[in-house]
A and B are shown apart, each in its own frame.
Chain A
Amino acid sequence: MSDIQGRHLIVSAIENGTVIDHIPSNRLFEVISILKLDSIASQITFGSNLESKTLGKKAIIKISDKFFSGDEINKIAIVVPEAKLNIIRNYTVVEKQHVSLPAEITGITRCFNPVCITNHQAITQKFNVVASNPTTLQCVYCEKITDKDNFNLL
């Protein structure tokens, strides 16, 4: 496994659950925030600044007994389109998932435009995805672009 360094596992294995791998280290806390991992009851272990051939330094999150829905996986794609999910059952990877951005995103981030109607009234934020990696969103309402540097996650 990619998270084995030397002969021992840096981040301990889980019996059942989800491993989110290939997170750039500097985006770890965004992933924790977007998935609201601070408010779930499952056991969670993190590792950051781990050696990675492709990313230099990467982070990894292991969440016991948690399996994400399609919508939740799409959220990960907004901040880390390169992330990979491993579904673990009985200590074995049973499925690998690549995250992918949907064409439309609802209610995940705020529109960057301070004079957009969605920032003034109780309206669900909606965006069309105009580019991925880096993610670039266009507000359905005010038509302004919100890019990766300006995400203000809800």
Chain B
Amino acid sequence: MKSLVSISDFKVEDYLNIIQLAAQFEADSYRNVLKGRIISTLFFEPSTRTRLSFESAINRLGGNVIGFADISTTSSTKGESLHDTITMVAAYCDLIVMRHPLEGSARYAAEISPVPVINAGDGANQHPTQTLLDMYSIQKTQGKLENLSIALIGDLKYGRTVHSLIMAMMHFSPHFHLVAPPELQLPKEYIQILREHNIPFTLHEDMQEVIPEADIVYMTRVQKERFSEPMEYERTKNLYVLRNAMLGGAKKNMRILHPLPRVNEINVDVDASPHAYYFEQARNGVFTRQAIISYLLDLQ
């Protein structure tokens, strides 16, 4: 039995298998391979995209969903421990999908659960299905994962999707452009990992200078509450908003990804650009999650 808690639980072979399976599900999404099986979706923290795309994936596979989208309707509000909730729910289902605000909750759930656990986000720690759908989107738009120039823009310090994407794409000879205000640049442990693996990377404060180079522009939101100095936020916030006028020099194959929800970091005038890919990326999440569930339950 295998769970998916952290992107590093999977090896390159697993990434490639998932991407291949996701393509098969995209070609033929409605299949009955989960017929008669029950999947629990336990969302201790609200989520729109992740929960709905998991539930869409399960329904397309012919499985049944039980669970909750709101902690206020559960025994947790009565003080039930995660241990007891997971032990009980595992008795009702074949696989658990869980989002929880506390970091490490998913690893703990996987440790005690007799059925596989998929981490749908544990606080700011890990969100591996997002990374896999990002990889599927990269493969689909570029036709390959290897030797790509990837610009990561915005909050590189706290953005868990950025950290996981770096850890996963590191295996495919990328060149990273790390664009962030100094306060939100990539943490030193990740810089260290890039150095140890001889992955080329460049640090930038100005996003304009990386756009002509990039195959993938991965946007994240710079949040006001991340700044210790409000003045610093005011100074930098407009530097990290992508506008259509900035895309003139971009490569034809360049695609813009964003884990969503977007607030204002991608101007709506980008939406009509052929480079915009974030809504298709969200759609890819359904096929990727179908692939992950099938892979973990060995349904193929």
Contact = CB atoms under 8 A, between A and B. Distances in A.
Nearest to B107: A141
A34 interface: no
B108 A117 contact: yes
A141 B82 contact: no
B57 to A, nearest CB: 26
A142 B189 contact: no
Contact of B108 (A123, A143, A145): A123
Interface string A128-141: 00000000000111
B12 to A, nearest CB: 20
B82 A121 contact: yes
Interface string B77-110: 0000111000000000000000011111101100
Contacts of B124: 115
B189 A145 contact: yes
Size class of A's contact patch?
Answer: 10 to 19
Contacts of B161: none
Given A115-B123, A143-B6, A145-B189, A122 B105 contact: no
Q: Is the interface of A mostly helix, strand, loop or mixed?
A: loop
A144 B101 CA distance: 15
B126 interface: yes
A113 to B, nearest CB: 6
A143 B125 contact: yes
Given A121-B81, A121-B82, A143-B126, A115 B103 contact: yes
A117 B82 contact: yes
Nearest to B109: A117
B206 to A, nearest CB: 31
A152 B81 CA distance: 24
A140 B107 contact: yes
Contacts of A117: 82, 100, 102-105, 108, 122
Give the interface centre of A117, A120, A140 by most chain B CB atoms within 10 Å: A117
A118 B122 CA distance: 13
Contact of B102 (A116, A140, A143): A116
Nearest to B125: A142
Interface in A69-117: 111, 113, 115-117
Contacts of B101: 115
B103 A142 contact: yes
A115 B122 CA distance: 10
Interface of A: 111, 113, 115-118, 120-123, 139-145
5 contacts: A111-B104, A116-B103, A117-B82, A118-B108, A144-B125
Interface of B: 6, 81-83, 100-105, 107-108, 122-126, 189
Chain A to chain B: the 9 pairs with minimum beta-carbon distance, closest first: A141-B104, A142-B104, A142-B103, A117-B104, A117-B102, A117-B105, A141-B107, A116-B104, A115-B103
